[in-house]
Structure 1
């Protein structure tokens, strides 16, 4: 089967490579081909088109897509990050220290990224005039280079991307504006598959979910090893920044107050609160409910 990472091959996605390298997929009777994903919008399209069977996408991005009539044939089967890691990252000297400073600046991200698509809602809640912020397109692998090279003042990234940004922009400190500062209830990445697989191949889905979650736990418990495994499989990825991303991601996978110690759970009440937040902000129309998004039979239980 084919699996897409969430966004390129950064440390935050190393857990899939860990699951493969450590034999967790093989032990579950699975032969998994891992390919780099292109962000929430692109990944949803590829899952629906049958180009892959599983991928992580940002839950808020999925809600935004469903709210505009898309993503009808996918379903959430596990949580990866219990709160959103979406953020904007800039560098010292670019004149960005707080959200209001984004006005008049140029930012880069891929068109399907949840950071970019959620920006109007973030801007509204953070008191930013979104019409005064210019966005340009950038491929996942090129975003940090655009920022380090001075082509743009900021990029869409995950909070855990800070070490990787600083490793490329040598000598400059990253400035991070987390979306969770104004949208604390939002989940981060969740694992999706097609509604067809969830209904017709639940055993396959459960085996894949269990093996991937085992890789996720191992990567945040052993970040240095996860970084080495990623670099071994994807030589263009440096192990040290990848390990640092895994270390930072641990707080999002197992945040304080999360349900039990089981990784991958989804709290439908929190999802309902997120839906309401987006509806109140005018980002999605009324009518969306958690049961339309989540396969409760497949998600890990606390």
Structure 2
């Protein structure tokens, strides 16, 4: 009887091991693309936390666009231009969006190098100062004497001296304090600051968090012709594997286009992946962002970048004293990798 029990146990163990081995084979197959090749692991940083404006990366992953292109993508929250650039340059991440103007300022000042932009996310800058009714801010001049919060590397904060100069604001009379991407709106709601650095599409989320009507001062009202976010990678990756960069870019832009056409579904996908998501606000952000990605009547294809327009942006920053003369669009953009119009 004892011998029979041992035999049954041995058979059961063998069967269990066989099942485990079978499961291991399935996991291995799940890590392969449609062509049977192993998926390339890639880390992608969002532009600024995990808000609706960045949902397109989660959509590209959820819909299988990344997998179809041969990638296994890990998405992590970024902390603005000043956080994404060093992460990509150092290899902690392979791709991420930054504000192009912020990138120009970082590169022109010598704070960062060895990265290149390979596609546009927004054709116009969405940078803005955001506040709520009751804080005494309705025009740029009202910012004097106020206390604002943002991440240290944010384009809103780094571009503020240029914005202030062109808007007739004394930047020395504005106090900036440090904050983090995910907590800025809560800081504004708590009343410890009068305003925050934010993108214009953040309006629905600001109102959801603060329970007040949002007031925004878009930088584009004062500084025209600036691009918004662009996708960057390291110069090393761009030079060594340009085809990989193109495949990733196409998959991400496919997610972007799908998100703009299906904002509610995109917000639901974001909510499944990021617990703190307010799906209503996230969908509203995407709907507001659409006009910045594909400006009506412009005929501009998603992802394209125009050298002449970038040159004009550089000239604007040079005239404002924010950039030293001599910078060219080719220093920050790899036009061989940018999607064609």
CA contact (8 A) 1:86 1:178 kept: yes
Deviations 1:224-267 (A, max 9, x none): 0110000001011111100000000000000134343x210001
Alpha carbons of 1:100 and 1:141: their partners in 2 closer, same or farther (altered >3 Å)? Answer: same
TM-score (norm 1): 0.98
CA distance in 2, matches of 1:131, 1:276: 24
Q: Does 1:2 align with 2:43?
A: yes
1:83 aligns with 2:147: no
Q: Are the aligned partners of 1:259 and 1:265 in contact in 2 as well (CA < 8 Å)?
A: no
In the other structure, the counterpart of 1:281 is 320
Choose the corresponding residue for 1:197, options 222, 225, 237: 237
**Residue in 2 that maps onto 1:126:** 167
- In the TM superposition, 1:1-302 aligns within 5 A as 1-170=42-211, 172-260=212-300, 262-302=301-341
Q: Looking at both structures, which has the greater relative contact order when contacts are Cα pairs under 8 Å and sequence separation is at least 6?
A: 1
Partner of 1:76, secondary structure, is: strand
Superposition deviation, residue 24 in structure 1 = 0.3
- Counterpart-to-counterpart distance in 2, 1:224 and 1:257: 24
Aligned-residue Cα RMSD (Å) equals 0.7
Is the Cα contact below 8 Å between 1:68 and 1:284 reproduced in 2? Answer: yes
In the TM superposition, residue 203 of structure 1 has moved relative to its aligned partner by 1.0
Q: Secondary structure at the match of 1:52?
A: coil
Structure 2: give runs of 5+ residues left out of the alignment: 1-41
Question: Runs of at least 4 residues of structure 1 off by over 4 A?
Answer: none
Following the alignment from structure 2 to structure 1, what is the Cα–Cα distance between the partners of residues 123 and 285? 16
Tell me what 2:38 maps to: none
1:227 touches 1:240 (CA, 8 Å); kept in 2? yes
> Following TM superposition, by how much is the alpha carbon of 1:274 offset from its aligned partner in structure 2, in angstroms?
0.3
Aligned length: 300
Greater gyration radius: 2
Q: Which stretches in structure 1 are left out of the alignment for 5+ residues?
A: none
Work out the CA distance in 2 between the residues paired with 1:13 and 1:54.
13
Q: Structure 2: how far apart are the matches of 1:258 and 1:89?
A: 27
| 1:32 counterpart SS class | strand
